[in-house]
Structure 1
Amino acid sequence: MEALDIEQLRSETPGCAISTHFNHSGSSLPSNSTLAAVTEHLQRESLYGPMEAAANAAGLIDEARADAAGLIGATPQEIAFSSSGSAAWGLTFAALPPLKAGDRILVGRQEWGGNLSTMQAAANRAGARIEIIPANEDGSVDATALAAMIDERVRLVALTWLPANGGLINDAAAIGRVTRAAGIPYFIDAAQTLGQLPVDVATIGCDMLKGSGRKYLRGPRGAAILYVRKDFQDRLEPAYLDVLSSSWGEDGPNVRMDAQRFETSEKPIALLLGLGAALKQARSLGVSAIRERIVSLSGQLRDQLSAIPGVTVQDLGTEKSGLVSFTLEGMAPQIIRSKLAEKRITIAANGIPYTPLDMTARGLNEIARASVSYLNTRQEIDRLCDNVAVLARQAA
């Protein structure tokens, strides 16, 4: 807990002086260095022109790509940048071989709603099926059950590693051992994972992974990370190409032989530089130290919320993340969120569309979500819980 200088880190984060922020899994608070990387590049664009400024920043973009690779144990050639996690996921899914009638896609119960809708639409067009992998007693995806479902019709296994509706952490590596043994493509949604948990793609065994820059990495909105395993890249055909992702030769397009086949020449350079600054900070602090602090603070938050009459902590899982979900008897989560916002306390309220399979299975329509970062303090947790206790008395 003493490895991180929290007072210094908070002083370098303007948002910490304005509000009590518990929506880091939605979008966290950027540091001064991240803000400077974005705004200084925009200033250079205004002075020298965007194309010229981008050319001068090429080396810094390469550094950001190397830092993204280093964060997850990949190589820079396996990293692409995207405008959002959804865009990265959708482009990669669209590049997989087309589904055929009778094909199967296996998903965890916590799969994010946008991914699920994309897969279901493709399955509907082809006459394929989406099937849910059974869950363990703690709610996590059951790797043993997955192994029993594998046959020659399975075309993809998709996993949302840390679901948006609570603290569950799926065992991504256990799923990877099954998919690797079977030779089945494995796609991980790590939107809530990057910057919160240590990640090693080789240990996990995934072929594709996408992560968000704006969440626990504390980067700017509009920049995300895509990993595609080098030996898997030639199995993907991008839905469209441009002059960066493909050159034009005598025989037509020559698609790049690295993950940048999923990028275009037009990029938000300022945002990518901001992401680069955020990546450097996360690697400098050490994700293991970040994880240790989040575990301690989120454990305190769960204990204090559980002690409030009328409050139910809704988190599943044995090992838990910094996403703390709860409900309050007699008060809708959106009302909780609004009332806390009046006190400058920021949380989120998530409904069925975010994690439809899991929410439906558990009979939940909506949850309040307070997501903890290493930036948070024990005093802020006390303040949040004191205000939730007031709401609980009002709702009683």
Structure 2
Amino acid sequence: MLDIDRILSDTPGVMGTLFFDSAGSSLPPLPVLDAVIGHLRLEAQVGGYRAAEVAGERLAGVKQSIARLIGAAPEDVALLDSAGRAWNEFFSAVPFERGDRILTCRADYPSNAINALKAHKTLGVSVEVVPSDQHGRIDLGALAAMLDERVRLVSLVEVPTNSGLVNPVREVVELAHAHGALVLHDACQSAGQLPVDVAESGVDAASFTGRKWLRGPRGTGFLYVNPKTTAGLEPRVLGTFTTAWTGPDEYEVAKDATRFEQWEGNIAGFLGLGAAVDYLLDIGVDEASAAVRASARLLREGLAQVPGARVWDLGDDLCGIVTFSLDGADSVSVAGELAKHTVSCHYSRRTSAQHDMAAKGLMDVVRLSPHYFNIASEIDAVLELVADIAKAA
């Protein structure tokens, strides 16, 4: 069971606000603040190079903690500045050829979709969206029918930005690998609110962010690469940190995941990311996930009782993202009204999820994303505010 008193004491950001935006950028706990600020102070005293040397062992420990969290080996983890960077570093390393096919899902992220479309325009690959089933998840039967030897990559978003949907990962991997296709798992909304085990799922790569459910600093992310299937891939851009200039006309790329890293990096941020991962491991991934889902379930049940409110999360296995709309009010305005009453939440527009929002006939939705530090009285307060806004709409 979670020690909620300790968690609230460690989360100064909960004071004076109703924070329901962990799917955007969550509230870091005190150990994260201490790690980031402490390293910045050290840099101010001895300079960035010396500070990095002093922090070398702790920085190596960040990858070890991440590896524990996602079921990987530390050498298969690359530290980067965002989930988007992580996804694109791997995607751009795949040697696509004209005639190759990329399969995506209806829950695709805009940055992923845009870069896939760029590959279509510049490399001559086709980009095809796998339909969803009646529960909103990627349709495994449709995926099986679409797979053939020309499919080079399946891009799978486990949890979208605009819904509480959870896509199946292991099942997609099994189908894709049977046809020799790689699977790139977008887990930016997964880690921190759902258990992630890359060894169990068998994905070829997975991208993550620090700022969302992991409660780490902005400007941090990481990439997992499966050495069994991706050892021969070279990043689009090689850095001096991961590539040795072995002779005037020769270079050697790192054999492990560090080949996707760059020399320059936010050391303070990475140490904060490690502190965030350690914090989650300490309180328990399963316990945190259960608390997140329970709070989201209470929100959905409460919203269903608000006249004029409609919840848009599909599926029988929902996570911590809760999306809804109110009759007679655009979602941006609803989020703005909630903000006037100290509620931190967000909204998703169609431009953030073209395939899914169009299929639902929506232009925007309000997004509430409770974390394990949210308590029942806060949920009640948010529901009361939504009901008041609905009456005025």
TM-score range, shorter chain: over 0.9
Q: Any unmatched runs of 5+ in structure 1?
A: none
Q: For each residue in 1:311-336, what CA deviation from the matched residue of structure 2 results, as whole angstroms up to 9, or x when unmatched?
A: 00010111000000000011111101
2:367 match: 369
The match for 2:228 is 231
Aligned mates of 1:93, 1:99 — CA distance in 2: 13
Match of 1:119 in 2: 116
Determine if contact 1:92/1:238 at 8 Å carries over to the other structure.
yes
The corresponding residue for 2:66 is 68
Whether contact under 8 Å (1:297, 1:378) holds in the other structure is yes
2:267 aligned partner: 269
Does structure 1 conserve the Cα–Cα contact (< 8 Å) formed by 2:110 and 2:351?
yes
Q: CA deviation at 1:189?
A: 0.5
Please state how far the C-alpha of 1:236 moved relative to its aligned partner: 1.4
1:349 to 347, 350, 368: 347
SS class of match (1:65): helix
Cα distance in 2, alignment partners of residues 170 and 306 from structure 1: 24
Name 1:83's counterpart in structure 2.
81
Match of 1:134 in 2: 131
Q: Report the Cα distance in structure 1 between the residues aligned to 2:33 and 2:273, rounded to whole angstroms.
A: 10
Helix, strand or coil at the partner of 2:231: helix
Whole-Å Cα distance in 2 between the matches of residues 128 and 217 of structure 1? 35
What is the rounded CA distance, in whole Å, between the counterparts of 2:209 and 2:352 in structure 1? 16
The count of corresponding residues between Structure 1 and Structure 2 is 392
Specify which of 298, 302, 309 is matched with residue 300 of structure 1.
Answer: 298
Native 8 Å contact 2:96 2:125 kept in 1: no
Structure 2 CA distance for aligned equivalents of residues 317 and 243 of structure 1: 46
Whether the 8 Å CA contact 1:176–1:205 is kept in 2: the answer is: yes
SS at match of 1:191: coil
Scaled by the length of structure 2, the TM-score of the pair is 0.98
Q: Kindly indicate whether residue 147 of structure 2 is the aligned counterpart of residue 150 of structure 1.
A: yes
Question: Which residue of 302, 327, 332 corresponds with 2:325?
Answer: 327
- Residues 199-255 of structure 1, C-alpha deviation per residue, up to 9 Å, x if partnerless? 111221210100110001000001101100012332311111122111011351100
Whether 2:201 is the aligned partner of 1:185: answer no
The one-letter amino acid of 2:231's match is D
RMSD: 1.0
Instruction: Judge conservation of contact 1:233–1:258 (CA < 8 Å) in 2.
Output: no
Deviations 1:297-316 (A, max 9, x none): 11111000110000000101
Give 1:272's aligned amino acid: F
The answer to whether the Cα contact below 8 Å between 1:19 and 1:346 also exists between their aligned partners in 2 is yes
Query: Is 1:233–1:259's contact at 8 Å kept on the other side of the alignment?
Result: no
Look up the match of 2:21: 23
Q: Match for 2:128: what amino acid? A: E
CA contact (8 A) 1:99 1:123 kept: no
Kept in 1: contact 2:152–2:180 (CA 8 A): no
For the pair 1:51 / 2:49, whether they are aligned, the reply is yes
User: Which AA in structure 2 matches 1:333?
Assistant: S
Q: Work out the CA distance in 2 between the residues paired with 1:332 and 1:11.
A: 36
SS at match of 2:92: helix
Matched AA of 2:53: A
Q: Is the 8 A contact 1:97 1:235 kept in 2?
A: no
Q: 1:247 corresponds to which residue?
A: 244
**Structure 1: distance between partners of 2:232 and 2:313:** 37
CA contact (8 A) 2:149 2:179 kept: no
What's the % identity of the aligned pairs? 38
Q: Does the Cα contact within 8 Å between 2:70 and 2:198 map onto a contact in 1?
A: yes
SS at match of 1:338: helix
2:162–2:348 contact (8 Å) kept in structure 1: yes
How far apart in 2 are the matches of 1:27 and 1:167? 16
For 2:257, the equivalent position in structure 1 comes to 259
CA deviation profile, 1:118-167 (whole Å, cap 9, x unmatched): 00111111222111112111010012221111112111000110011011
2:261 aligned partner, one-letter code: E
Letter in 2 for 1:303: E
Cα displacement (A) at 1:88: 1.0
The residue identity in structure 1 corresponding to 2:7 is L
Q: In 2, Cα distance between the equivalents of 1:158 and 1:122? A: 13
Q: Describe the superposition over 1:11-66 as per-residue Cα deviations: whole angstroms up to 9, x where unpaired.
A: 11110113110000001000111001000100000000111001111111111101
Whichever residue aligns with residue 141 of structure 1, its letter is I
The answer as to whether partners of 2:208 and 2:222 remain within 8 angstroms in 1 is: yes
- Deviating beyond 4 angstroms after TM superposition, the runs of 4 or more aligned structure 1 residues are none
| In 2, Cα distance between equivalents of 1:316 and 1:24 | 20
Following the alignment from structure 1 to structure 2, what is the Cα–Cα distance between the partners of residues 240 and 125? 17
Q: If the length of structure 1 is used for normalisation, what is the TM-score? A: 0.97
Q: Which amino acid aligns with 2:291?
A: R
1:386 is matched with which residue?
Answer: 384
Q: Give the partner amino acid of 2:62.
A: A
SS state at 1:386 partner = helix
CA contact (8 A) 2:306 2:387 kept: yes
SS in 1 for 2:352: coil
Amino acid at match of 1:371: S
